[in-house]
Structure 1
């Protein structure tokens, strides 16, 4: 497969807003530690690199990305210490060779440069809730990929970034009517129980703007959804399948 350029969208946030419903902070909005979900970034990223593609990292202001602490736990890797080490080493390598710790600010991209990219990928983690959904510069980027029908992939909380298209152009949601899979409200409700607070619901937010949310057993256990140029997955279990399917889209 010829080498192509892929833009990877990251959040600058190391936390997300959590409205506490229990404990001493009940009723207050606190900053809950978060960041990118390691597996959701590392697995598709490794596949892109193995295929010989060139990746460019971008974020709202170009700040160093933070991994979600939960995604680095052995529990997240079902006890597989070697897999966790391998994926952490990949990120360390990206810092040394691909500018991962210095992402390009969204505002530095124009349409001429965006035209050189074959696709765009948005990993999850709760961090996108903090700064991606309402970023007008990201909205311009995603509108360009949508207009040009270029492969666009997002996983878990990553699809929340699609809402940014309403902050650019004519203010419309360009993915209105698209079939999309994301972290579900049911999954977020479970997280709310663990965190003792209320979290913005990705699936509900997308549905409210006209997206057709695809849920079910398949999506809970790693299934992906492709509609036009948009490929989405619901949780870390979809990372491998989404990476494989995204590569096929890039090869067309």
Structure 2
């Protein structure tokens, strides 16, 4: 299989806004620690590398990405120490070999350079809520992949970044009418109960922009949704299936 280039979009944020509804900070918006969700990045990334593809990391300002603290716990891996170690080792390798600690800035990637990429992937974690949904340079990038019908993948909170297309070009949401699966409002409400605060809802935000949200039992347990060039998944359980589907799309 010929090697192809894939752009991986990351957030610069190490937290996301949480409007507290209980406790001493009730009524205030606080910074809740977050970052990229390790499994949602590592599993598709490993599949891309296993198939000989080259990856380039990019973010709004080129800061070193931060893992979501919850995603690196043994609980997130259901106690599977070896799986967690493999994925941590992969990220250490990326730091040494692939410029993971210094991502490209979105603005440094010209439209001409975008033509050299076969696809784009956006992992989740709550961090995209902080800086990806309203980034005009990311909007420009995603509009390019949409216009060229090039494979685009996003998982969990990653689909929130698709809203950035409203900040570029003519201001329209280019995924209007697309079937999309993301972290659901119901799942977010469970998180809100644990954190005692309100969080921006990915599902509702995309639906309000014009997306047709696909949520149900299959999507909760690892299913993915494909519509034209866009493949999406709802939570970490979809990471393997999303990676497989994305690899097949860019290999055509």
TM tier, smaller: over 0.9
* In 2: Cα distance, 1:207 partner to 1:132 partner: 17
Deviations 1:165-190 (A, max 9, x none): 00000000000000000000000000
Aligned positions of 1:17-36 closer than 5 A:
17-36=17-36
* In 1: Cα distance, 2:216 partner to 2:172 partner: 28
- What residue is the counterpart of 2:204 in the other structure? 204
How many correspondences in the alignment?
252
Aligned positions of 1:154-165 closer than 5 A:
154-165=154-165
- Structure 2 unpaired stretches of 5+: none
Deviations 1:189-239 (A, max 9, x none): 000000100000000000001000001000000000000000000000000
- Structure 1 unpaired stretches of 5+: none
Three-state SS of the structure 2 residue aligned to 1:30 is strand
- What residue is the counterpart of 1:249 in the other structure? 249
* In 2: Cα distance, 1:61 partner to 1:204 partner: 27
> By how many angstroms is 1:241 displaced?
0.2
* In 2: Cα distance, 1:251 partner to 1:86 partner: 25
> By how many angstroms is 1:37 displaced?
0.1
- What residue is the counterpart of 2:78 in the other structure? 78
- What residue is the counterpart of 1:221 in the other structure? 221
The reply to whether residue 15 of structure 1 matches residue 15 of structure 2 is: yes
* In 1: Cα distance, 2:47 partner to 2:195 partner: 33
Deviations 1:31-65 (A, max 9, x none): 00000000000000000000000000000000000
Three-state SS of the structure 1 residue aligned to 2:226 is strand
* In 1: Cα distance, 2:80 partner to 2:20 partner: 33
- What residue is the counterpart of 1:171 in the other structure? 171
- What residue is the counterpart of 1:136 in the other structure? 136
- What residue is the counterpart of 2:106 in the other structure? 106
* In 1: Cα distance, 2:138 partner to 2:228 partner: 20
* In 1: Cα distance, 2:83 partner to 2:162 partner: 30
- What residue is the counterpart of 1:53 in the other structure? 53
- What residue is the counterpart of 2:44 in the other structure? 44
- What residue is the counterpart of 1:6 in the other structure? 6
**Runs of 4 or more above 3 Å deviation:** none
* In 2: Cα distance, 1:86 partner to 1:110 partner: 34
- What residue is the counterpart of 2:190 in the other structure? 190
Three-state SS of the structure 2 residue aligned to 1:118 is strand
